[in-house]
Structure 1
């Protein structure tokens, strides 16, 4: 299947947000607490793209997936309740989503593979991500792709502290 995983541009912002928002609506409809109709907001996707951290997965030229891949310190990971597998510089994946019409095709796995490629290109061996305890599909995906559970991280949202399971994958070059 011909695909590209490439930096998203301002012209991609609306579609990227729609893909993420569809996933948020689906999570909320299925009783999952990680995302809802107010989070992630459109402005967060716009910020990812503006800062060069937003990436689009295109299948046959059509944008079917989105993720933010950042390099550098993730503040919520500094207070991990647990232990990271490494102290190496790392990249973080946030807001990974696949269009509902393209689910079940291995595209989320492909996004993880491509994020690892971005890490290799920059000489970064550690990749981190977190998810909610009720996101069964993401938990399975991370467990099956070599990510290891490291502990719990916390985010402030709407004046409340939310807990996420933090994962790390340390790769070889």
Structure 2
């Protein structure tokens, strides 16, 4: 990416200094899900602070950003596919966050249904949007698919908005998986699982 265009979005790795902003995104995501009738996907604590920090330290967390914080009318979308660029804009806005993992995800081993295949894959977890721009989830998913051909992701059974976005982005519903974490008893234990494999 050459110069910083305020309306252009890009992807960068999250830093420890981004933790407060990321926690605010997750707070908003929990509120939006609760208002949409999906209060139990993330309960009232997930993602947990130690999980957020560990993801960043291990290089798993990415941010979708632009440089339009000082614009009178900040653009709500970008016509271009975001590219990976580690620069930080002077007037940066965080549009979205997600974590990306390589290798076998233990929660995906047992599925009520079947995955598209058993080929090596990447997994997306903890995706959330700030509400500052349209198509944030679509942009993050599109970037992941531009980097990796085989991607799996899960969401809540009542997260109809995310299910719609996944299907619009070419992901296939594969079945249901179980998750369990004693740290938040309000969090539901079932997820619906999706996969996209571009051959």
Higher RCO structure (Cα 8 Å, ≥6 apart)? 2
Where is the strand percentage greater, Structure 1 or Structure 2?
1
**Cα deviations across residues 60-85 of structure 1 (Å, max 9, x unaligned)?**
23112100011111101011111110
TM-score (norm 2): 0.78
1:6 is matched with: 12
Q: Tell me the CA shift for residue 118 of structure 1.
A: 2.9
Two-structure CA RMSD over aligned residues (Å): 1.6
TM-score (norm 1): 0.89
**Cα deviations across residues 16-54 of structure 1 (Å, max 9, x unaligned)?**
121122101222243312113211222221111111100
For residues 118 and 8 of structure 1, what CA distance do their matches in structure 2 show? Answer: 18
Query: Residues 25 and 36 of structure 1 are in contact (CA less than 8 Å); yes or no, is this contact kept in structure 2?
Result: no
Query: Residues 21 and 40 of structure 1 are in contact (CA less than 8 Å); yes or no, is this contact kept in structure 2?
Result: no
**Cα deviations across residues 141-169 of structure 1 (Å, max 9, x unaligned)?**
01111100111111012268711110000
Query: Residues 28 and 37 of structure 1 are in contact (CA less than 8 Å); yes or no, is this contact kept in structure 2?
Result: no
Runs of 4+ in 1 over 6 A off after TM superposition: none
1:136 is matched with: 160
For residues 57 and 93 of structure 2, what CA distance do their matches in structure 1 show? Answer: 21
> Counterpart of 1:167 in 2: which secondary structure?
strand
Long gaps (5+) in structure 2: 1-6, 68-91
For residues 69 and 16 of structure 1, what CA distance do their matches in structure 2 show? Answer: 15
Corresponding residue to 1:36 among 32, 43, 46: 43
Query: Residues 14 and 63 of structure 2 are in contact (CA less than 8 Å); yes or no, is this contact kept in structure 1?
Result: yes
> Counterpart of 1:43 in 2: which secondary structure?
helix
Bigger-Rg structure (1/2): 2
For residues 66 and 4 of structure 1, what CA distance do their matches in structure 2 show? Answer: 12
Query: Residues 69 and 94 of structure 1 are in contact (CA less than 8 Å); yes or no, is this contact kept in structure 2?
Result: yes
Long gaps (5+) in structure 1: 120-124
Q: Tell me the CA shift for residue 11 of structure 1.
A: 1.4
Q: How many residues align?
A: 165
